[in-house]
Amino acid sequence: MNNTERSMMALAVGIVGAASSAVAALPASPALTVTRLTPPSLLFSTGSTSAPVVARFLPGQRFDLQATVAPTAGHTITNISFKVDGVPVAKPVALIDADNATLLNSKIGTARAYANNTPGTHTLTVVAKQDDGTSTTAVGSFSIEPITISGRKAKNVILMIGDGMGIAHRTAARLVSKGSNMGKTQGQLAMDTFPNTALVMTASLNSIVTDSAPGAACYSTGNKCFNGQEGVFPDDTKDEFDNPRVENAGEYLKRTKGASLGLVTTADVFDATPAAIAVHTQNRGSGTGICDQYLNEAPNTGLSVLMGGGRKWFLPAKTNGVTQATSARKIANDYILPAELAAGWGVANNVPNADRDLIGDFVGAGWTYVADNTSLNAVSPATTKLLGLFSYSNMNVSEDKLNGRRGINGPNGQPVVNDYLLPDQPMLEDMTAKAIDVLKKNDNGFFLMVEGASIDKQAHLMDSDRWIMDTIEFDKAVGVAKNFASTNLDTLVIVTADHECGGINVIGASLQTSANLANLVNNPTPSSNYYVSNGVNPVLTGYVNTPNASLRDSVVGTYDSAGFPVYSYDANGYPLTMDPDHKIIIGYAGGADRFETYSTYPTPSQDSQQPLVKTPPLNGYPATPALKNTTNGFFITGQVPGASGGYQAVHTASDIPLSAYGRGAALYSGVIDNTDVFFKAMQAVLGGATRP
């Protein structure tokens, strides 16, 4: 998780608190009041009977019913029960105290793992009683989406998430990796070749701008959650793992079809996107618990492939009493489930343990573990469960992985990837191919999520060259998935994002050759008004000009001046350099203050998730994007707050593109809600669909 996303998570927690505070104003009144009813609905929150239904489920998909009830002052809640369409729900209702500070006397009633088989809109009524015999009711709604039987079913779903990948990210990757001349693209991205396209609206349950947790969870559950939450609805407890759950695609397909689940990412595997596909928590930052839950609940999710970075969550905090610097495991972000939750969902519980050898436990459960690309390539063809942890946290970006393979050194006299201590990392396409090899052994099919994570992370950091290269890497993984689907016809491949990041667009191309650009950058033309630094973050005083006043106007070519940039490629199709003559130029509508040189920075900015980020050589990397190019860049004023957001670009509310290929692809067209992506995929899996 980068700084911006951590800030957003903190903001989300604040929003949760704010929402709770808002409803908490009600319990102070004398009335017995239902302050929250889950699943969330506009019927409950606004009283509107004509408002759209918020919570939607598959026939038989499990979810929790929950209500928070505030008693009249001086009384206590004695009973909470639920009815659906007027019929009592035959599930035990567990009563606990709300531990939100503003709801001290409130009770929370929860019925676990409810399911409804009947398509259509249903009313959910909660009846709450307090100790003087008085009662109150509240009504909400949810719907069951119909599945239409239509023919042959998609057995496999490969969901490819280019995190933060908007339309312009794809355009930039195409321009760089394929080229354009005389107005014609010189080739298509693999994702460009998919026959069906849609635009996806990305709002989360509590904001028009989603973060990656609900942005991915909606693809796995068909439902929206608050920013920072994964596979759950919000509640009124501080416990990060007790929230009302929604059964995800892995669990549903494992339970009903015997399918497998795979997660592949270039991020730390605890990161929001992979975790949102398989885990249930209200805090995307609870890395220890998230990674424990991967294994603990694998019998329920069907998880059989887990690859990416994030070894720090799998290493014991202490070995033989000695603290391990590369471990991030903590009791504080581990979990134990309420017994009624574990029983209701039929899942194994957890014992919080910072010193757990999670890799050992995976191996003990029959998983094959690989630690680097060499061992990934040597995996036995008979492998049916594969764990790959190739870095301590987020994997290195493709620019730096490729430079490592090409022997190109960074500022520390070795390839940048070596600075992170684990240089032998696979490319995303290699992980994708291996994941498919393992998962396809299950004749009942699989649900595989593949994430190009650093498209987003580097877009946050406004490091154009690195996110463009990672988009190209992601597209090569898309090509692997497409090749599989072209010979395994019962496969649906969906390529999309969770949100756009950066407000990015391709605004033109450099007027300069690479050599001339380097000369302009190395010989700045400062003006008299410029920023001053406090040594950590820049402090901007009054009108700010720039340390390299003429750079922008000398470099940025627009319209006719942009022409057609030309890149050259290695044998695998990756650009040999991101700094050719007349390279493309990127603008950030959602960017923060920064100093732009239009050149590849020798290192990425610091990744705060790396356990060794505070030690050399990683502590020598720029702590924020605003600390790059401070003496030779052109200062660009950001559109978003600086210090509070870590001087990073932000997610935007822009619709995102979706491309689909294979069985069920024709279901994707028009402008759709992000939750629709789930229901259309499940239509293909459960009801069947044609191939376009």
Binding of other proteins at residue 162 (CB under 8 A)? no
Binding of other proteins at residue 50 (CB under 8 A)? no
Task: Give the integer Cα–Cα distance in Å for 498 and 203.
Answer: 10
Binding of other proteins at residue 60 (CB under 8 A)? yes
With vertex at residue 554, the alpha carbon angle to CA 549 and CA 560, rounded to the nearest 5 degrees, is: 145
Binding of other proteins at residue 352 (CB under 8 A)? no
Binding of other proteins at residue 252 (CB under 8 A)? yes
Chosen residue from 129, 152, 440, 552 binding other proteins by CB under 8 A: 152
Binding of other proteins at residue 153 (CB under 8 A)? yes
* Nearer to other proteins (CB atom), residue 645 or residue 688: 688
Site for other proteins in 482-511 (CB under 8 A): 490
How many other CB atoms are found less than 10 A from the CB of residue 382?
8
Task: Give the integer Cα–Cα distance in Å for 655 and 373.
Answer: 35
The minimum distance between CB 169 and other proteins, in angstroms, equals 35
* Nearer to other proteins (CB atom), residue 249 or residue 315: 249
Q: Note if the bond before 617 is cis, omega within 30 degrees.
A: yes
* Nearer to other proteins (CB atom), residue 149 or residue 532: 149
The minimum distance between CB 653 and other proteins, in angstroms, equals 34
Site for other proteins in 257-296 (CB under 8 A): 257-258
| DSSP assignment of 618-638 | GGGS-SSGGGSSTTTSEEE--
Chosen residue from 47, 50, 133, 149 binding other proteins by CB under 8 A: 149
The kind and range of the H/E element at 40 are: none
The minimum distance between CB 263 and other proteins, in angstroms, equals 22
How many other CB atoms are found less than 10 A from the CB of residue 590?
23
Q: Are 307 and 385 in contact (CB under 8 A)?
A: no
Chosen residue from 36, 62, 155, 628 binding other proteins by CB under 8 A: 155
Task: Give the integer Cα–Cα distance in Å for 230 and 324.
Answer: 29
CA dist 235 → 37, 97, 204, 359, 389 (Å): 9, 12, 16, 32, 33
The kind and range of the H/E element at 509 are: strand 504-510
The minimum distance between CB 558 and other proteins, in angstroms, equals 44
CA dist 609 → 17, 269, 337, 352 (Å): 26, 12, 26, 21
* Nearer to other proteins (CB atom), residue 60 or residue 587: 60
Chosen residue from 151, 407, 542, 670 binding other proteins by CB under 8 A: 151
Binding of other proteins at residue 690 (CB under 8 A)? yes
The minimum distance between CB 270 and other proteins, in angstroms, equals 30
Residue 208, exposed/middle/buried by CB under 10 A (0-12, 13-18, 19+)? exposed
Chosen residue from 45, 150, 383, 608 binding other proteins by CB under 8 A: 150
The minimum distance between CB 151 and other proteins, in angstroms, equals 3
3-state secondary structure of 124: strand
Q: Are 77 and 132 in contact (CB under 8 A)?
A: no
Chosen residue from 17, 59, 338, 479 binding other proteins by CB under 8 A: 59
Phi, psi (deg, nearest 5) at residue 442? -85, 110
How many other CB atoms are found less than 10 A from the CB of residue 51?
13
Site for other proteins in 421-460 (CB under 8 A): 443-444
The minimum distance between CB 148 and other proteins, in angstroms, equals 8
Binding of other proteins at residue 195 (CB under 8 A)? no
The minimum distance between CB 218 and other proteins, in angstroms, equals 20
Alpha-helical segments (H) within 488-550 = 514-522
The minimum distance between CB 660 and other proteins, in angstroms, equals 18
Q: Which residues bind other proteins (CB under 8 A)?
A: 58-60, 115, 117, 147-153, 155, 252, 256-258, 443-444, 490, 686-688, 690
